[in-house]
Structure 1
Amino acid sequence: MRNDVSHILFSEEDIANRIMVLGDAITRDYADKADDGIVLVTVLRGGAIFMADLARAIRLPVEIDFMAVSSYGSGMKSSGVVRILKDLSSSIEGKHVIVVEDIIDSGLTLSYLLKNLSARNPASIEVAALLRKKTESQSDVRSIYTGFECPDEFIVGYGLDYQERYRNLPYIAVLSSEHNE
């Protein structure tokens, strides 16, 4: 698989160090809210690896929950149509929700998800994104916990995929152009 990437953007060590920083910030910011309940919500499948590591870096009791949302299909561009394939297992009403996102790309899916979750009356809702792409057409989505800004290239690894492959790479890399056409 290493031959399928053109170059590594963020190493395994870079990612681990940045997640510790994010976990420390969340621990500090939510220390007085833990009794109300903190729920980490991620969208399967891409965000699962990041959420597992981030949950371990937060030194407070947290619940975790998952959604499956479709907007990409098997292509490389968002379709603009968002469908919930798997909803949350528990209520988030009155709880502090942190949406754990692998990458903010167009922001369309995340915007939809935030609106949907806000309608369920959480005490608060914020976003923790491992990556934020630098794109001009990105939706205005606020992420107060952001790991890295990345170029507007097709990236894989650490949960991010191309046609369901490369999620298990321990780093984040740009996919070679001959593999993403």
Structure 2
Amino acid sequence: MPDLTLVLDKETIARKVAGVARDISRDYRESELILIGVLKGAFVFLADLMRRLSLEHVTVDFVRLASYGADAHSCGTVCLLNDIAIDVRNKDVLIVEDILDTGLTVAFLKEHLLQFHPRSVKLCAFIDKEERRQVALAPDYTCHRVDKGFLVGYGLDYAEGYRHLPEVYHLKL
């Protein structure tokens, strides 16, 4: 049996997602917002987040990036596996990420998206974990901050496992 310790239960997750959705809805009430989800981890959070937004115009797209592989540590190189398919020129873009850890993936993606000339690019991270941050980057919106630990559940994985868990756990490796 894996050693799992509960970090966020379902009710806490729902409350935190609703709070961030209110903030985003307030800040983008006059915009055509494009949510860019980072696969695979962010799909659960993005689905819950977008259903809680009270905006008239929201579009969703996804990118797929790789930096971890099957290991628990980033290899430091980010690869773009699948790019966006919609036009973001002169639109407000919100990157939706499961966890902001080293910051390398998000920094890479932000620079990549700027090539398409959006009006703005901001970041919404479900989890902000500064323990291993390698770039000066902070989320514009975040649901939860942790100091350290390896988290799984609610889309977060370890070697493609544990994503299906409805709550967030610390996995003792």
- TM bucket (normalised to shorter chain) is over 0.9
What is the Cα deviation at residue 163 of structure 1? 0.8
1:107 offset after TM fit, Å? 0.4
Where is the helix percentage greater, Structure 1 or Structure 2?
Answer: 1
Q: Which residue of 2 aligns with 1:104?
A: 100
Q: Spell out, residue by residue over 1:123-154, the C-alpha distance to the aligned partner (whole angstroms, 9 max, x if none).
A: 11110101011315432113110111013111
Match of 2:152 among 152, 156, 168: 156
Contact 1:92–1:121, Cα closer than 8 Å, also in 2: yes
Alignment of 1:13-52 (within 5 A): 13-33=11-31, 37-52=32-47
Unaligned runs of 5+ in 2: none
- What is the match of residue 173 of structure 1? 169
Which 4+ stretches in 1 moved above 2 angstroms? 3-6
Match in the other structure for 1:9: 7
Q: Secondary structure at the match of 2:76?
A: coil
Q: With the length of structure 1 as denominator, give the TM-score of the two structures.
A: 0.91
Structure 1 spans left out of the alignment, 5+ residues? none
Task: Give the TM-score of the pair, scaled to structure 2.
Answer: 0.95
Residue 138 of structure 2 corresponds to 142
Q: Which amino acid aligns with 1:149?
A: R
Aligned residues: 172
Kept after mapping to 2: 8 A contact 1:5/1:173: no
Deviation at 1:93, TM superposition (A): 0.7
> Counterpart of 1:11 in structure 2: which amino acid?
D
Q: Deviation string for 1:96-137 (max 9, x for gaps)?
A: 000001000100111000111112100111101010113154
Q: Which amino acid in the other structure matches residue 76 of structure 1?
A: A
User: How far, CA to CA, are the matches of 1:162 and 1:66 in structure 2?
Assistant: 21
* CA distance in structure 1 between the partners assigned to 2:121 and 2:49 by the alignment: 17
Q: Secondary structure at the match of 1:74?
A: coil
Query: Which amino acid in the other structure matches residue 118 of structure 2?
Result: P
Letter in 1 for 2:18: M
CA distance in 2, matches of 1:143, 1:162: 23
2:27 is matched by which residue type in structure 1?
Answer: D
CA RMSD of aligned residues (A): 1.2
* 2: CA distance, partners of 1:153 / 1:30: 33
Which of the residues 119, 123, 146 maps onto 1:127? 123
- 1:161 Cα offset (Å): 0.4
